[in-house]
Amino acid sequence: MKKILFFLLFVPAIVVGQDYVDLLKIGYGQTFNNDFVDTEESTFVKSFEADLTIPVVLNDNHALITGAVFSRNNLQLFPEASFTSLYSTILKVGLASTYNEKWSSTLVLLPKIASDYNEITGDDFYFGGVALLKYQKNEHLKYRFGLYASSEAFGIFSTPIFGWYYLSPNSKFEMDVSLPISTDINYTSGSITYGLDYYGIGRSFRLYNEEGVSESYVDLASLEFASYIQFNALQKSVLLRAKFGYSSNNYEIYPDGQTIDLGLSAFAFGDNRTQLNPDISGGFFVKFEAVYRFNITSSEEEKTKEE
């Protein structure tokens, strides 16, 4: 029992540096309308994501981070074409370390398989990772600095990360910022949380024809802005979230072998590729998410009462 309690109290603190850790997150969303530029045709995008995190304690200062992320995006890539599903499965293997009361770090390797899954070959395997250094300024504010990088079908994508986590003294106002990848700003009143969030990252998916040969790939540039309302159940350990926002996702198709020199945040260097499909415009979307969250503060209070 003590090992379980230590696992639940210690690991989330060094993994995320917040008063909680999201062990499981499931989301489903759909855009209303995405036009093919310079045509009269349009499509819509259905998305599904599941994110599992399982930390494992190694000793007083280190914990192993394990888990997986699965995603599926379903849409038409060409006007009047049949719908295509793009899949990604990411494994999470990393180490979270605490050095003292001020400094901690997280290093996570993120190997993945990404394609339409009509075939799976060695070309569908990509390797990425994220490294973060965290500084605890005070009990309400923590800064983070780091780098995310991944190999993709179009080449190497990378972005520096700068952010912070802030929780107000009354625990109602929260900011969780990791620029330029994600931002979540919210305010809680009773069992309801109102928030704004942003998420942006580059990804790719290899495409296979009916003969099982890959001749092209999808380059997805993802930017999503949303507002949300969230119901907090079971002492804020089960979160039910409804989101409405705008997505500027563009699913560009390029021939295999055509790559860029380097993708750095929102910039692409050495991009001389030939796009095979029309641009897809952004659109409004709705999304529903369910989160299982472990609250560290609540567990510490229960432990104190037991003692």
| pLDDT 10s digits, 241-258 | 999 999 988 899 999 999
Which pLDDT tens digit goes with each residue over 37-65?
A: 989 999 999 999 999 999 888 988 998 99
Q: What are the counts of helices (DSSP H) followed by strands (DSSP E) for the chain?
A: 2, 21
Worst-scoring range by mean pLDDT, 59-63, 259-263, 293-297? 293-297
Q: How far apart are CA 161 and CA 176, in angstroms?
A: 13
Q: Is the pLDDT of residue 304 over 70?
A: no
CB 291 within 8 A of CB 25: yes
- pLDDT band with cut points at 50, 70 and 90 for residue 232: very high
Both ends of the chain: CA-CA distance in Å? Answer: 14
CB 110 within 8 A of CB 150: yes
Domain boundaries, the chain: 2-306
pLDDT of residue 104: 93
CB 198 within 8 A of CB 175: no
Size of the chain in residues? 307
What secondary structure does DSSP assign to 172-239, as a single string? -EEEEEEETTEEEEEEEETTEEEEEEEEEEEEEEEEE-TTS-EEEEEEEEEEEEEEEEEEEETTTTEE
